[in-house]
Structure 1
């Protein structure tokens, strides 16, 4: 089983991966350290061919979305505005898992900007990739949609959503296992319907909806794994957000660069069909 690989075998794979990278003229080597290579290998359960395809896609998608990755100073007015209405948490929980939580605090959706929120996702995720070395066995996502209304439909951007979904499912080096939508309103099916065309079947099957004032989250989490906002003991979301911002600010100089993790030219992937299967392999390999 892939998970039984020894540290020596993993180091050997890292060396092999780096030798391959050097021969890929389209892939950047400047910011590709051993830590990131190990994360890609880990996310693909140490299947080196899958990891190569995933990292090619990671770089090429990033090169195709400059509008989401350029000019992203966390101290800029645009980001400061977004940071005031969102709490993000990146929490290590029991079972060697990560909980990724997002909470919107903008009841009238007066400030919420969908594209800026996606830019914030990339900013916080990139800072985590730059900072975190621990390798988790599973990644669980929790989205608190208590302030989402049908007004969201007027703010949604199909093109951006499609690119982000591809990146999250097939290129991001994590092991996605569950997605929880909490405080889900009765019309959540209309909102989810916007995203569903871009999601693979195995990802849609990971989604669980939790109505307001329900305790169904406890069917999936122990209280010790949840923030206090959701009946747990793991601190408040605003406290977790402060830690996320601290990491972002510690990596600000790198995040300000517009060339971070970008292909220098169009990536020469093996073929599009093989890339479509990356997410299936990575998310289901050890379920």
Structure 2
């Protein structure tokens, strides 16, 4: 994950947005580490310094929230082991669904993430697209010191028939995982191409999304609108920007996924162990409306 490393200066800028001093962070980290070391059911990974620093950030430097994040991170592995076993078992460049995290951060140090299809085929295994996206999301959630994401969803090639093949039970599980274990703070959600489909999904999303996120959704009718909002320096060449194309960045993700196979193998080991030993980790939370902040 060297390409996505965070400098100490960037960490300080990210931390400053929470109105907390470095001394306070150090004290909270100490308390969190002591708690983890006194909690025997948590795996060894929970004691790693980088992991604890990121979980403290994910909990907005609230100790109780950070504890819940850690419990739920491992808890959902035992709750939904069937969803963890396929993670990381793919090569991004060979998949129809692409999820690319841009190495260049946005103006507020946010991570810009592009979700799109690589072709316009009639048949698409949409659930495999989702699981490949989850692989990248979990990797960034655990490895990337970042507090805010800016999502760009490209609907080019997406058809209603693709969405009709979704397994609602699995979608429920994945939503549960996101809401309670892998939630990223979303600063903006931009939708591009296929405006009629995007508009339909936007209207349906109002049934479950909270007003705060709905207010951050923008449907772009053309690339000029997208470029005006984000700036070309923060867009890939596919969208008229100055960065590498999605295809080029996807090849970089091939190497990242390959390099992180030990991480994914460990997830699969924990998933298999949960089936044999019934090692539940006390998952907290339930299926509910999406909470952004």
TM-score by length of 2: 0.78
The question of 1:70 aligning with 2:82 is answered: no
Query: 1:103: which partner in 2?
Result: 116
The question of 1:224 aligning with 2:237 is answered: no
Residues 218 and 246 of structure 1, relative CA distance in 2, 3 Å threshold: same
Query: 1:167: which partner in 2?
Result: 177
Where structure 1 has 5 or more consecutive residues not aligned to the other structure, the ranges are: none
Q: Equivalents in 2 of 1:82, 1:244: separation in Å?
A: 8
Aligned residues: 271
Does the 8 A contact of 1:162 with 1:198 survive in 2? no
Query: 1:30: which partner in 2?
Result: 45
Superposition pairs of residues 72-221 of structure 1, within 5 angstroms: 72=87, 74=89, 79-80=90-91, 83-91=94-102, 92-110=105-123, 112-129=124-141, 131-132=143-144, 135-172=145-182, 174-192=184-202, 197-211=207-221, 213-221=222-230
Residues 36 and 174 of structure 1, relative CA distance in 2, 3 Å threshold: farther
Higher relative contact order (CA 8 A, sep 6+): 1
Give the superposition deviation at 1:231: 1.9
Give the superposition deviation at 1:154: 2.6
Q: Equivalents in 2 of 1:82, 1:234: separation in Å?
A: 18
Q: Equivalents in 1 of 2:185, 2:211: separation in Å?
A: 16
TM-score by length of 1: 0.80
Where structure 2 has 5 or more consecutive residues not aligned to the other structure, the ranges are: 1-15
Query: 1:54: which partner in 2?
Result: 69
Runs of 4+ in 1 over 6 A off after TM superposition: 261-264
Q: Equivalents in 2 of 1:177, 1:164: separation in Å?
A: 21
Q: Equivalents in 2 of 1:46, 1:198: separation in Å?
A: 27
Query: 2:35: which partner in 1?
Result: 20
Residues 165 and 206 of structure 1, relative CA distance in 2, 3 Å threshold: farther
Q: What is the aligned-residue RMSD (CA, Å)?
A: 3.1
Residues 124 and 235 of structure 1, relative CA distance in 2, 3 Å threshold: same
Task: Provide, for residues 146-196 of structure 1, a one-character-per-residue CA deviation record: whole Å limited to 9, x for no partner.
Answer: 010121233222122222223223422532211112113313344456655
Q: Equivalents in 1 of 2:179, 2:270: separation in Å?
A: 20
